Structures are given as C-alpha cells and as structure tokens.
Structure 1
Amino acid sequence: MFELYQLEQLVTIAKCGTLSEAARELYISQPALSRSMQKLEKDLGFPLFEHRKNRVIMTPTGVLAVSYARDLLKRAREMQDQLTLYNRTRNTISIGSCAPAPLWEMIPAYSSRYPDMAISTEIHAEEELLIRNLEEGIHRLIVTTGPVEKEGIISVPYFEEILYLAVPKDHPLARHKELYLRDLKNLTIILHSRIGFWYDLCRREMVNPNFILQDDLDQFVELSASSSLPSFTTNVSSRRFHRDYDRAFIHILDEEANVMYYCSCLEAEAEYLPKALQTAEETAGED
C-alpha cells in the first residue's frame, strides 16, 4: 500500500512538471524520487506518468490520482489538527484573555486545582476571536470585557480593573486627579507590550503618543518605578506588584478604562469556571 509521503511527492511532481524540480522542492535526490514513483506505480498496478524530453506528463489515470492525492493529504492534515486539538482539550486547560490581569490569578489557581493538567494561556485583544476559539474548543475558558450573550455559553462577572496614569509628583500632569486618555497629548510613556485590549485602547484614544515598549514584565515594573517618565497602572497591578512608590495617580475617566471582566465557558464545561464564579452561577440559576 502506498504511503502519504508518496502522495505528497506525486502532487509535487504534478505541480512542478519535472522530476528534477520536484526533487529540489522536496529536498530529496532525483533518483530517490524516481524510485519512489516507480514503486507507487507498481503498487497501484498502472502507470501514472509519460516521460517526455525534459518533462513528465501525467497520464489520465495520473491526473485522477493527483486529484485523489490532494484530497487525501488534506484529510490527513485535518485529522492531525483535530486529533491534536482533542488531545489538547483532554489534557490542557486553555484560557484566552483580553488582558493579562485575569491570568495572574487564574494560572496559579488552576495549576493547584488541576495538578495533572497543563495550563496554557493566550492574550488576544480581539474579543470576537476569543469567543470563536471558545466555540471551536480551542479555549476552555475566556475572559472578556463584557458578557458573551450567545446560546450555549455561560458568562459570569469576574472582577473590575481600573486604569490610572502614574506620574512623578513634580510632573506637569500631577496636579490632575482625573483625566481622559484624549487629554494625554504628545505624551512619552512607558508601556508593557503584552497588555491585550489596553494597548489598542491607548493607541486609539491618546493624541500622538510615544510609547516606550517593554516586553519583559519585570523590567517594565522596575523601569516604571525608577523612571521620570509616566506609566500606566491599575488597581489590580498596583496590588500585585506593590507599586506604592512615590507617584501621583490620575484616574482615567474613559468608560473603556474602567472594566468589568467576564469569565465565560460552554454550558457543558461549567465545572471549569473559577470556584467563586461557580457559586455565583448556581445562585443565579436558583433565582
């Protein structure tokens, strides 16, 4: 019986038109490719090629074989993808979040709660992608800035995060108690790069900002504490990183900067909600 690699070779020959070019694309020698195709023809019991000068022409049977080969290779890739996804969902709790703060609590909580399962996390600013990933089984849990109102999905309030601008007390903005992001004009500011929807919000609402991006979270925390430049913080990150250094904190008034997160899962997997949220969901169900 033929092998999948032979079908890949057959499709490549049909695409390239010559054995030599197909061999280069497949990173094998031309004699090895020729022997593989001779074996395929022998196993099938009929010729697939007509050899012309400098070219290989597919016989009518060969053309049909290429069509079937493409379909089988596609199905084989789909099989691999689906089996990988199935195995991942059985052995991994995948959490997608629109921001990093929810993951700070969820990762240690789920690692303790499910010690025999891997915990994987992703941050996506695009909440429609998170919802699609939940529906398709890519994520078991997602965290968004609003409830997911779709049939078959449970969506429960999680916690609130509020954005502040932290500036040195001698900074011109330090006299303000509250500001909108649009009030921050031409501001050079230190920003962590992996902050999900927060980055898009700041980029969209601030006027001509100059972001000094930091990829490493620990370096960002250290730099924002010691630099004369402003940085953003939140009620959640301030508690986590003990950011009580000598700064003035300005509340950002934009509605989108005062966020209630929602944790969502499929109804059939309600057991994977954070434990406090399971209680809230059960109470709501009794009402």
Structure 2
Amino acid sequence: MIDSYLWEELAVFSRTGTLTKTAEELNVTQPSVTRSMQKLEDDIGVKLFDRKANRIKLTPTGEMAAKEAEKLIDASETSVNRIKNFDRSQHFTILGSTSPGPIIMLNELKKNIGQQVQITGDIIPDKLVEPFLINNEADIILSDQEILSDKVESQYIGEERLQVNLDKFTFLANQKTVTFEQLKDMSFIVMNNIGLWKNIIQNYIPDAQFMYQEDRNSFTEITKHSSFPFFTTNLSQTNPFFKESLDENDDRIAIPISDESARVINYATYLTSQKSRLSPMIDKIRQQWPNNMAK
C-alpha cells in the first residue's frame, strides 16, 4: 500500500510545478520531496518523472497519476468527514433546513425537544439535501421539497405562512387577510436572508420597493423608528428578534396573506435507513410546529 503522504506530495508537485514550491507548501525540505518522488516511482513501478539537469517534470503517466492522487485525497477527506459526522450523529440528532424559518423555530424549541440536538447554522441549498444526509452532515433536513428515492424519503411536517405587518391606521390593516395584489406599490423593510420568500414577494407583489437589510440590529432600529411594513411568518414569530421588532408601542398589526403562494409546505427529509431512530424526533417537531398566526 502506498503511503498517503506520497500521493499528497505528487498532487502538490503537479499543481506547483517545482520541487522548491512543493517543499514550501508542505513545509518540508526539498531533498525530502525528491526522496518521496523517487519512492513513489519505486512503489508503483513506473516512471512518473522526466529528470534533466536542473529540471524535473511529470511524464504523461505522471500526469495521469497526479489526477488519481487528487481523487484519492478527495476520497480520503470525504471518508474522514463522513466518519466524524457519523460519530457526531451517535451523540446528537443534527437538524437542518433549506430556509431560515424552520431554523428559527428549531432553535427556539430546542430546549423543549428533550434530546441532545444540534442545529446547523447555515441554510442548506436544495440541491445538497441528499448529499448532506448521505454524508451524515445532518440527520433531518426541513425543506419545501418532498424527496423520495432509494436512500431518502420525506414526511409532511407543516406549513409556513406569510403575513405582513401593517400600520394599524391604514385601510388594509382593518381586513382579516390581504392579497399580494393589494400590497402593490408599497415599500417594505426586509431582512435579506429570507430564503425562498425573497423570490415570492418580488414575483407576486407588483411594483413594490424592497429595502433589504443584512444586519438585524439595523432592521430593528428602522422598524422601531418608521412605519414601513415588514414580513413575518408563523415560524419567524417564535424568534425573540420578532418581539424586539414589534414592541408594545408599535402601531403595526399582523395580517395574513391569503394567496396560495404565501403558503409553503415543509417536509422532514431523512435517510430511510434511519427512519425508526428518527421517527420520535420527527413527531416532536411536527407536534410543536406553530399552526396558528399570532393575533
């Protein structure tokens, strides 16, 4: 078996092109790299390098070997990460989401779940849901996509429903619900990282202006000192940040948006092989899902 450090040195040499740069990057001596390259040739039994006075370069076979070295290194790193993630999953149930609302809800309800739980901090891209599960980077991922495959399946959890917080002295604030069409031409203060809701409000509210904020503190200050409407959902309302944005002196009232596109179904997606272990956790998430808008 060929030592992994030899593959690493070959890959670095292929990328840098010189023994000197290879030694510098790996923090070893140049003679050490020279010996490693010779040992690799001896171990494989083929010529990998074309050596001339003051110059060494890869042969075509050496170039092919360097590509294989990159694959082996990547595979090794992937395996190590999967092992570490699997070990973590033996001690914690790791929950993630493809949108911010479920993450907010899970973080707020974490203390009530009654098990060792970790919440992934970052939003998981839709296309990475299955790889995240397979690589043990998460045990359950909440998503608006129902996935059914040989390795992965989904269960219905609940709906996330959008509402708008309007100045209570406006005409629309007297209605039980509003539509996206009724919100046309208005200006809104919006947190930038709101996942799929960003495209929904931009696509369905005609001629609206959206003032996106990256910083939560800035968002809170603007909402406290202005009457700009903003959006929340039945999930984001579980966040203390929402309560800070709507203090007791705030003149806004939360009005549900009645359009079908203002409702997003969420599923819990997991490895089918882990279904029996994760079913109790899925049931707890479903039971604690906020089903009613704040009044």
TM-score, normalised via structure 1 length: 0.72
AA in 2 matched with 1:258:
R
Residue 160 of structure 2 is aligned to residue 156 of structure 1? no
Q: Deviations over 1:48-70 (max 9, x none)?
A: 54432453134688567546534
Q: Which amino acid aligns with 2:4?
A: L
Q: Does 1:139 align with 2:99?
A: no
Instruction: Please report how far the alpha carbon of residue 86 of structure 1 lies from its aligned counterpart in structure 2 after TM superposition.
Output: 1.9
Report the Cα distance in structure 2 between the residues aligned to 1:246 and 1:155, rounded to whole angstroms: 39
- Alignment RMSD, CA only? 3.9
Shift of 1:255: 0.5
Pairing 1:76–2:76 present = yes
Match of 2:257 in 1: 252
Within the candidate set 272, 281, 294, 1:272 is matched to 281
Gaps of 5+ in 1: 280-287
- Displacement after TM superposition at 1:190 (Å): 0.7
- Please give the alpha-carbon distance, in whole angstroms, between the structure 1 residues aligned to 2:120 and 2:33: 41
Displacement of 1:230 in angstroms is 1.6
Shift of 1:189: 1.1
Shift in CA distance, 41/144, structure 1 to aligned 2, threshold 3 Å:
closer
The percentage of aligned residue pairs carrying the same residue is 25
1:41 corresponding residue in structure 2: 38
Shift of 1:246: 1.4
Name structure 2 gaps, 5 residues minimum: 289-295
SS in 2 for 1:273: helix
* 8 Å contact kept, 2:177–2:257: yes
Q: CA–CA distance in 2 between the matches of 1:273 and 1:135?
A: 18
- Cα 1:224–1:134 change in 2 (3 A) is farther
Q: Please give the alpha-carbon distance, in whole angstroms, between the structure 1 residues aligned to 2:84 and 2:201.
A: 37
Give the conservation status (yes or no) of the 8 Å contact 2:161–2:263. yes
Shift of 1:219: 4.8
Contact 2:180-2:259 at 8 Å conserved across structures: yes
Contact 1:190 1:213 (C-alpha < 8 Å) held by counterparts: yes
For residue 187 of structure 2, what is the aligned residue in structure 1? 188
1:229 Cα offset (Å): 1.4
In structure 2, relative to structure 1, the CA distance for the partners of 1:41 and 1:128 (3 Å cut) is closer
In the TM superposition, what are the counterparts of 1:8-19 in structure 2 within 5 Å?
8-19=8-19
Task: Name whichever of 145-154 and 228-237 sits farther off.
Answer: 145-154
Between the two proteins, the alignment pairs up a number of residues equal to 274
The equivalent residue for 1:166 is 165
CA distance in 2, matches of 1:76, 1:239: 41
| Counterpart position of 1:198 | 197
Aligned 8 A contact 1:147 1:157 in 2? no
Three-state SS of the structure 1 residue aligned to 2:120 is strand
Give the Å deviation of 1:202.
1.2
Inter-partner Cα distance in structure 2 for 1:98 and 1:15: 36
Cα distance in 2 between the residues matched to 1:70 and 1:239: 46
- Does the 8 Å contact 2:11/2:66 carry over to 1? yes
| Residue of structure 2 equivalent to 1:52 | 52
Matched, 1:100 2:100: yes
Q: Name the stretch that deviates more: 105-114 or 93-102.
A: 105-114
- The normalised TM-score by structure 2 is 0.70
- The question of whether the paired residues in 1 share the 8 Å contact of 2:103 and 2:119 is answered with no
